Amino acid sequence: MTVTIAREGRIAVVTVDNPPVNALSKALRQALVEAVAALDADAAVEAVVLACAGRTFIAGADVNEFGRPPEPPHLPDVVAAIEAAQKPWVAAIHGSALGGGLEVALGCAWRVAVPSASLGLPEVKLGLVPGAGGTVRLPRLIGPAAAVDLVTGGNPVGAKKAQELGLVDAIIDGDLSAGAVAFAEEIAGKPAPQPISARDVVPVEAGFWEAVEKSVAAKAKREAAPLRALASVRNACGTDFASAMAFERATFLDLRGSEQAAALRHVFFAERAAPRPPELAGVSPLPLRSAAVVGGGTMGAGIAAALRDAGLPVVLIERDAAAVERGIANVRSIFDGSVKRGRIAAETAAERMAGLTGSDDYGLLADTDLVIEAVFEDLAVKRAVFEKLSEVCRADAVLATNTSYLDPQAISEGIARPERFLGLHFFSPAHVMKLLEIVPTDKTAPETLATGFSLARLLKKIPVRAGICDGFIGNRILKVTRAQAERLLLSGATPSAVDAALRAFGLPMGPFEAQDLGGLDIAAFQRKAARERGETPFAPVAERLCALNRLGQKTGGGWYDYAPGERTPRPSDAVAAIIAEEAAGRPQRDWSEAEIADAIVLPMVNEAVRILGEGVALRPADIDLVKIHGYGFPRWRGGPMHHAEAQGLAEVVAVLERLAAEGLADPPSGGLRRAAEAGGFSAGGR
Ligand code: NAD
């Protein structure tokens, strides 16, 4: 880490160089305080530019200091020192000014930025509030309403928007240092603006805070940080600067030690580690310059859209001309939807479509780097597709299947270059869902596997390596979720009670609502395959609903009834009668919401430990990423494995033993017991 001071006439340029992202380490905080003192003492300096080397302005806190007790100099004091400097400081922003980085910029008298810069306070995403005046200075600079949006949402804004808000004073086109020095020349020697800390807050209209609180609470659900951040902004708008800073700091320190912040930190680090698995260190991926998708249905269209979003030219192959047309229309409707929701401009959608070629001619794939198959879930159909691909594609082209439940090994049998084959399991809708399970066969070459991970980076997805088994990681655990949900029904809980309990736990939807939305036939198909393999899947009620063609919303009824054209689930007498028949003779009991959540989530953990033991998943954190990014498990709980550790593995074992004694779950596995004895998964869960 270096902080250098250069002179350009009466302007001093302080340059921070702390690769990779100029994070606010203790050493940097110290160096900034020293720079203020040195420049205050230098009579020849009339203004100061604060700039950063490398790809970004100060991008935020130092992740190595996360979760550790804060050490002096504390950031609020650093920002106060810059604000109190006798010479005006100008923050020159490129890349990102996030969290503490933006708070440092708020200490400066002026802020200038390049057009591509982004500014924000993302602390709530780590379960925190800004801790160095973000919630106090921001409303004094840009007004309460804009400050609330930035602080409680945690999403950064671009330079142009920041200028409209009054967060940035000037946009510098061209060379940032030259532009910032010219800006400093202009303001040097003139009266400095009033420090932000000394400004008054613009008054709000009556009812403003109540309305904002309602909307923040609705979005945050059970996440604590957004409401605490709002409380800090609100407090800052009604009190003097020093009291507001004390309130913010107390909130920050309180949340720092919270379970939610620990869970969100865990997910943050898991996400950072996911794209670079240690087992692929030193392995180079193959180039990804073009892609093709075979099958333009639900998944194929979503995958094609994701590939176009990442800028790759895409060929979409279907069975015949009519199917090609349908496939292209499916992709178009995805982009049209994004335009309608204001996510992309109409021109962008047109440009995305222009890079998509539909055809039934495999000959177009002769020079394609990556082909992803997303045809019907049928082994013979898939094998025929790969046979053709083997004939036409380049020898080093990567060929991937998006199968959900078939064995990729079996799909790849007989193909010319099995070392270039792997499973790439996307989640629906594929252009939205962040998870990508990457499934090598025993013949997949390391560089092919590395290409799967580099594809995930390109598509901005979270890659998780999964081994071959029925359903890979995510859907295998989902099977347990469904079976547990039915066990609850047969012992006294209702579908609405189970769904409500899981929503209260933090999932966007309960298991029965989710099945009604996706269709009960998907799981029925999977159970049929399992029975053919000699297994005995547990779904007595679901089997009867399928036999009655109650397949969910699409047939007007499933676990719930639906009024024609409506999606609101209504408890069904017919389903209640079936449950009563299937439950006859079984012991019935009352279920609290917490007991229901335990009876569903903890058996998921038990299965996950088996999955780890078999090597189907490599790390407990991978399981957490799968459930968070593929199935809506609440991020603030850190995923099922982190949640179980936070609950205490000994307690998890005890709950599973009680459930097992009542015949309501499998007993805890050996791996889970060992992990409980070892005090955590990292020690004993493998
Ligand atoms: P779908 O029925 O919507 O689409 C399949 C498409 O493949 C159809 O458009 C069909 O015309 C086309 N097709 C069939 N045979 C073909 C051939 N020989 N050549 C070219 N095109 C052909 O199915 P889907 O839901 O998109 O599923 C596709 C694959 O993705 C399946 O393997 C499925 O298990 C898997 N998958 C589905 C989901 C999901 O939620 N739907 C999630 C992950 C994975």
Domain harbouring 496, CATH code: 1.10.1040.50
pLDDT in tens, 401-429: 999 999 999 999 989 999 999 999 999 99
In sequence order, the β-bridge partners of residue 89 are 48
Tokens of 82: 């810059």
The finding on whether 376 has its CB within 6 A of some atom of ligand 1 is yes
Tokens of 173: 């086109």
Check if 437 is active-site.
no
Residues 564 and 661 in one domain: yes
Distance from residue 374's CA to the centre of ligand 1 (Å): 5
Tokens of 289: 């310059």
Please name which of 50, 67, 160 lies closest in space to residue 102, comparing C-alpha atoms: 50
The finding on whether 317 has its CB within 6 A of some atom of ligand 1 is yes
Residue nearest to atom 4 of ligand 1 (CA): 297
Angle between helix axes 495-505 and 474-489 (nearest 10 degrees) is 130
Please name which of 19, 26, 21 lies closest in space to residue 1, comparing C-alpha atoms: 19
Q: Active site residue: 46, 65, 71, 103, which one? A: 103
CA torsion through residues 184, 187, 191, 196, sign: negative
Q: Give pLDDT, residue 584.
A: 96
Looking at 257, 274, 297, which one is the last position of a domain?
257
Residue 602 clears pLDDT 80, i.e. is over it: yes
Q: Let me know if residue 271 belongs to a domain.
A: no
Residues 209 and 354 in one domain: no
CB atoms within 10 A of CB 209: 18
The confidence band for 1, taking pLDDT boundaries of 50, 70 and 90, is: confident
Strand, helix or coil at 451?
A: helix
Distance from residue 595's CA to the centre of ligand 1 (Å): 38
Q: Let me know if residue 262 belongs to a domain.
A: no
The residues, ordered by sequence, that sit 6+ positions from 396 with a Cβ below 8 Å of its Cβ are 286, 420
* Alpha-carbon gap, residue 126 to 681, rounded angstroms: 22
Please name which of 579, 275, 592, 245 lies closest in space to residue 438, comparing C-alpha atoms: 275
For 217, phi and psi rounded to 5 degrees? -65, -40
Can the peptide bond before residue 508 be classed as cis, meaning omega within 30 degrees of 0?
no
* H or E element in which residue 414 lies: none
**Looking at residue 44, which CATH number applies to its domain?**
3.90.226.10
Residues 333 and 388 in one domain: yes
The finding on whether 294 has its CB within 6 A of some atom of ligand 1 is yes
Distance from residue 611's CA to the centre of ligand 1 (Å): 27
Answer with the residue of higher pLDDT: 682 or 575.
575
> Best-predicted range by mean pLDDT among 455-459, 518-522, 564-568?
455-459
Q: Which atom of ligand 1 is nearest to the CA of 518?
A: 40
Q: Give pLDDT, residue 389.
A: 97
In the chain, what is the straight-line distance between the N-terminal and C-terminal CA atoms, in Å?
38
Q: Provide, rounded to the nearest whole percent, the portion of the chain with pLDDT above 70.
A: 99
Answer with the residue of higher pLDDT: 603 or 276.
603
Ramachandran region, residue 174 (left: φ > 0; alpha: ψ -120 to 50; beta: rest) = left
Q: What is the DSSP letter of 418?
A: G
pTM: 0.93
Residues 226 and 178 in one domain: yes
Residues 478 and 558 in one domain: yes
Residue 569 clears pLDDT 90, i.e. is over it: yes
Residue nearest to atom 31 of ligand 1 (CA): 377
Q: Average per-residue pLDDT in the chain?
A: 96
Distance from residue 378's CA to the centre of ligand 1 (Å): 9
Q: Let me know if residue 231 belongs to a domain.
A: yes
pLDDT in tens, 440-466: 999 999 999 999 999 999 999 999 999
The confidence band for 149, taking pLDDT boundaries of 50, 70 and 90, is: very high
* Mean pLDDT to the nearest integer, 212-231: 96
Distance from residue 323's CA to the centre of ligand 1 (Å): 12
* Mean pLDDT to the nearest integer, 68-80: 92
Residue 652 clears pLDDT 60, i.e. is over it: yes
Residues 337 and 384 in one domain: yes
The finding on whether 316 has its CB within 6 A of some atom of ligand 1 is no
Residues 595 and 577 in one domain: yes
Residue reference for tokens 């079976």: 483
Q: Which atom of ligand 1 is nearest to the CA of 405?
A: 34
Residues 440 and 345 in one domain: yes
Residue nearest to atom 3 of ligand 1 (CA): 297
The confidence band for 684, taking pLDDT boundaries of 50, 70 and 90, is: very low
The finding on whether 475 has its CB within 6 A of some atom of ligand 1 is no
Q: Let me know if residue 459 belongs to a domain.
A: yes
Q: Is 504 exposed, middle or buried (0-12, 13-18, 19+ CB in 10 A)?
A: middle
Q: Give pLDDT, residue 599.
A: 98
* Mean pLDDT to the nearest integer, 542-555: 97
Which residue type occupies 457?
Answer: R
Residues 441 and 486 in one domain: no
Looking at 412, 430, 465, which one is the last position of a domain?
465
Residues 528 and 662 in one domain: yes
The confidence band for 340, taking pLDDT boundaries of 50, 70 and 90, is: very high
**Looking at residue 318, which CATH number applies to its domain?**
3.40.50.720
Q: Let me know if residue 274 belongs to a domain.
A: no
* Mean pLDDT to the nearest integer, 137-160: 98
Q: Let me know if residue 446 belongs to a domain.
A: yes
The range of the structural domain enclosing residue 382 comes to 288-465
Q: What is the DSSP letter of 156?
A: -
Can the peptide bond before residue 20 be classed as cis, meaning omega within 30 degrees of 0?
yes
Tell me if 501 sits within 8 A of 489, measured CB to CB.
Answer: no
Q: Active site residue: 123, 223, 513, 645, which one? A: 123
Q: Let me know if residue 422 belongs to a domain.
A: yes
Residues 350 and 302 in one domain: yes
* Alpha-carbon gap, residue 592 to 501, rounded angstroms: 8
The confidence band for 685, taking pLDDT boundaries of 50, 70 and 90, is: very low
Q: Give pLDDT, residue 107.
A: 98
* Alpha-carbon gap, residue 556 to 564, rounded angstroms: 7
The finding on whether 377 has its CB within 6 A of some atom of ligand 1 is yes
Cα–chain-centroid distance for residue 337?
21
For 435, phi and psi rounded to 5 degrees? -80, 140
Please name which of 204, 241, 253, 236 lies closest in space to residue 135, comparing C-alpha atoms: 236
The count of structural domains within the chain is 3
* Mean pLDDT to the nearest integer, 174-178: 96
The finding on whether 529 has its CB within 6 A of some atom of ligand 1 is no
Cα dist from 12 to 44, 52, 156, 537, whole Å: 9, 14, 29, 72
The finding on whether 572 has its CB within 6 A of some atom of ligand 1 is no
Residue 394 clears pLDDT 70, i.e. is over it: yes
* Alpha-carbon gap, residue 236 to 12, rounded angstroms: 33
* Alpha-carbon gap, residue 166 to 583, rounded angstroms: 64
Cα–chain-centroid distance for residue 128?
17
Cα dist from 39 to 5, 191, 621, whole Å: 9, 18, 47
pLDDT in tens, 100-110: 999 999 999 99
Q: Give pLDDT, residue 66.
A: 78
The finding on whether 155 has its CB within 6 A of some atom of ligand 1 is no
* Mean pLDDT to the nearest integer, 508-528: 94
Residue 505 clears pLDDT 80, i.e. is over it: yes
Check if 123 is active-site.
yes
pLDDT in tens, 361-373: 999 999 999 999 9
Q: Which atom of ligand 1 is nearest to the CA of 327?
A: 9
The finding on whether 404 has its CB within 6 A of some atom of ligand 1 is yes
- ipTM, two decimals, is 0.99
Residues 368 and 404 in one domain: yes
